[in-house]
Amino acid sequence: MLPRGFTVFTIFVFAIVPHIIQGSGINEQDVQISMRSSPFETALITLQKQIGFTFQKIGLLRRAMTHASFSEENNKALSILGSNIIETSASLRLLGQNIEISAKELSRRISEVSKVESSCAADALRLGLHKVVRVSSKTNSSAPVVVCGAFRAIFGAIALDVGKSDDAGSIFWVVHGGEVGGVMAM
């Protein structure tokens, strides 16, 4: 005679465990399918076409399009990297054009290119990022600081994806130049 405990355990293993495993497997698949076909994922595909860059690690773009109000996994740090890339790239350009540029003029021109309200948010809205970036229900995705953070984070994400900042800088100038239309533009 087998002990009762063993019998109960055996019934558990053969009758119940497969259902638990199968059940969780199906759920995972459902989640993945719905993630792939969600409006957010579609917007990420469109955004890549607009900026002319295809991510090896799409998770980086997903994170770039996620505001801190939405998730712990957000674009705050990517946005700092992106901001540095934009400023470095602008400095390089301006000094390349005119090595005699004064420090004051250089600073003024850099801020012209990267300023939140006038430049960064305008670039972001033109790309339609306010319709892409994920925010909490209480957060206004069109607020300059929110869209601007997402915009800068794109360049941080590109640099991380490539492992250097050159491509991110080049793509910034194309997007900043206004050659790229809105994600959701009809």
Ligand X SMILES: *[C@@H]1O[C@H](CO)[C@@H](O)[C@H](O)[C@H]1NC(C)=O
Tell which residue, 79, 81, 89, has the closest CA to residue 153: 79
CB of 143 to ligand X, least distance (A): 5
- Considering CB under 6 A, how many residues would be counted as binding ligand X? 3
Query: By beta-carbon distance, which residue lies closest to ligand X?
Result: 140
- The angle at the Cα of 87, spanning 65 to 124, to the nearest 5 degrees, equals 35
Query: Hey, which residues does 25 pair with through a beta bridge?
Result: none
Nearer CB in complex with ligand X: 125/162: 125
Which of 26-34, 71-79, 135-143, 152-160 is the region at the interface with ligand X (rule: CB under 6 A)? 135-143
Pick one of 10, 27, 54, 140: the residue that binds ligand X (CB under 6 A). 140
Residue 184: CB atoms within 10 Å: 13
Does 142 sit near ligand X (CB under 6 A)? yes
Pick one of 80, 106, 143, 145: the residue that binds ligand X (CB under 6 A). 143
Q: Are 139 and 127 in contact (CB under 8 A)?
A: no
In three-state secondary structure terms, 142 is coil
Does 54 sit near ligand X (CB under 6 A)? no
